[in-house]
Amino acid sequence: MRKLLLGTTAVVGAALLSTGASAQEAPTVRIGGYMDFSWTYLSDSADRGTQTSPGVTRRPSGNDFRSDMEVHVLVSGKTAGGITYGARIEFQNDNIPASGQTAVDTDETWLFVSSPTLGTVRLGDTDSAASVMQVRPPRYPAFYRPSWYIARPGGLPYINSGVNDGSDITKITYLSPQFAGFDFGVSYAVNGGEGPRINNATNNGAMQRDLNGSRYNEITAALRYRGNFSGVGVAAGFVMSHAQAPRDRAANARSTITAYSAGGTASFQGFTFGGEYTFGNYRGASPGIAGTARGADMSWHYLLGASYTFNPVTITANFGQSFQDRRLPGVTLARDLRHTHVGVGASYTIAPGLLGYISYEYQRYRGWPGTTTGSVFGSTAPAPLVGGVRQNGNRTMQAITIGTTLSF
């Protein structure tokens, strides 16, 4: 998803709104967003098993189409003191499975106030400071997306994702201006809730003060450097996320959820090379949002990327490996999940805002829930017990994706 940073600085006090002298600008509204369409052919070893419903046995298709869209409403105005203010509201169609992904809900919705000398404050549902400022290697357009969605049965995790990837919980965020190439950011969220709070007969829309959700008191921070040395563009950064686990967690669960990540890139004459290393006490698809059992080994992943752009074409390659200890609080599982990701993709700028792309991906999981012979995948049932030991098998996927994206 394209991210639009509305300003690079933040305001820390209403008194600042009256400083300086410039012409006021009434809020203006413009529309942005994107529309994406893709086709993916998927070879998945999980399909060797059968997916069943009462009285029916079937094998999933090897290919599918996918469409995805977001519409962004961007509001921006300026005070007489030169302070920029506004809002961003994003509508999406890819997050309500029961609707067949045709219903529309909101993705990110936030207010902002920005000063060129003091920084930017964001208030609302948006990515954390760690997610916004994390320095990551180049990735091809289909990285994470179409093949993952087609293989979604079984809860396929892209465990080499960014810190708090997609974490649009309600929070307050500060992003600093840049000083000698350096900038920093911090964010705070009371709990894992997003948007309007629970609205049902029990609490009648009251504030969600129950801290037994996925996490609470989440703090993220980021430090980043960007500069240029003799024509070589350099970026480096370090981000962290720290949150408390649910108060009603299992007795053998850790009380904190942590994630740390360091990354860097270097660019020269169309080439970009980069890498990241992430580690911490977390589990699941997005580092930093789910806790681990006491005694579990620390999770980690590394991701490498390289790209070359010769307008209007960009070619990108990625390689990454991940590890997560699968011991869960109160559950007996095999000890770890290992994931290897290899991919290469090319994109072509057809016209301003219009991109075509193609990619090939190879994914391998060791320790995927299932039997060693590859039984039912896509089931919510736990892996079977053999001799009192819960079994885990391997899973491999290969995917070819062709698509196009219109950004506006």
- Indicate if the pLDDT at residue 148 is higher than 50: yes
pLDDT at 281 (0 to 100): 92
Q: What percent of the chain has pLDDT over 90?
A: 48
Give Dmax over CA atoms of the chain in angstroms. Answer: 77
Higher pLDDT, 272 or 147: 272
Helix residue ranges, H only, 117-247: 129-133, 146-150
The CB density around residue 77, as the number of other CB atoms within 10 Å, is: 15
- The alpha carbon of residue 160 and the mean position of all alpha carbons in its chain are separated, in whole angstroms, by 10
In this structure, what token pair is assigned to residue 156?
């396929």
Q: Which CATH architecture has domain 36-50+134-195+214-407?
A: Beta Barrel (2.40)
Report the mean per-residue pLDDT for the chain. 80
Q: Cα angle vertex 306, ends 304, 309, to 5°?
A: 160
Residue 134 has pLDDT above 50, yes or no: yes
pLDDT tens digit string along 60-76?
778 888 888 999 999 99
Angle at 393 (CA atoms; ends 387, 398), nearest 5 degrees: 170
Domain ranges of the chain: 36-50+134-195+214-407
Q: What is the pLDDT of residue 249?
A: 66
**pLDDT tens digits, one per residue of 63-109:** 888 888 999 999 999 999 899 999 999 999 866 655 556 788 888 99
Q: Is pLDDT above 90 for 221?
A: yes
In 3D space, the residue among 362, 392, 366 whose CA is nearest the CA of residue 42 turns out to be 362
What are the backbone angles phi and psi of residue 61, rounded to the nearest 5°? -65, 155
DSSP string computed for 207-239:
------SS-EEEEEEEEEEEEEETTEEEEEEEE
Is the model's pLDDT at 10 over the cut of 50?
Answer: no
On whether the CB atoms of residues 354 and 329 are closer than 8 A, the answer is no
Residue 149 class from Cβ within 10 Å (0-12 exposed, 13-18 middle, 19+ buried)? Answer: middle
Give the helix ranges, DSSP H, for 31-143.
129-133
pLDDT of residue 316: 98
Predicted TM-score of the model (pTM): 0.83
Q: Taking the CA of residue 166 as centre, how many other CA atoms within 13 Å lie in the half-sphere pointing to its CB?
A: 15
Task: State the burial class of residue 383 (Cβ atoms within 10 Å of its Cβ: 0-12, 13-18, 19+).
Answer: buried
> What is the model's pLDDT at position 213?
62
Amino acid, single-letter form, for residue 274:
G
pLDDT 10s digits, 368-406: 654 333 333 333 344 444 334 444 567 788 999 999 999
Helix (H, G, I), strand (E, B) or coil at 158: coil
The three-state secondary structure class of 46 is: helix
SS3 annotation, 288-335: CCCCCECCCCCEEEEEEEEEEEECCEEEEEEEEEEEEECCECCECCCC
The pLDDT confidence band at residue 364, using thresholds 50, 70 and 90, is confident
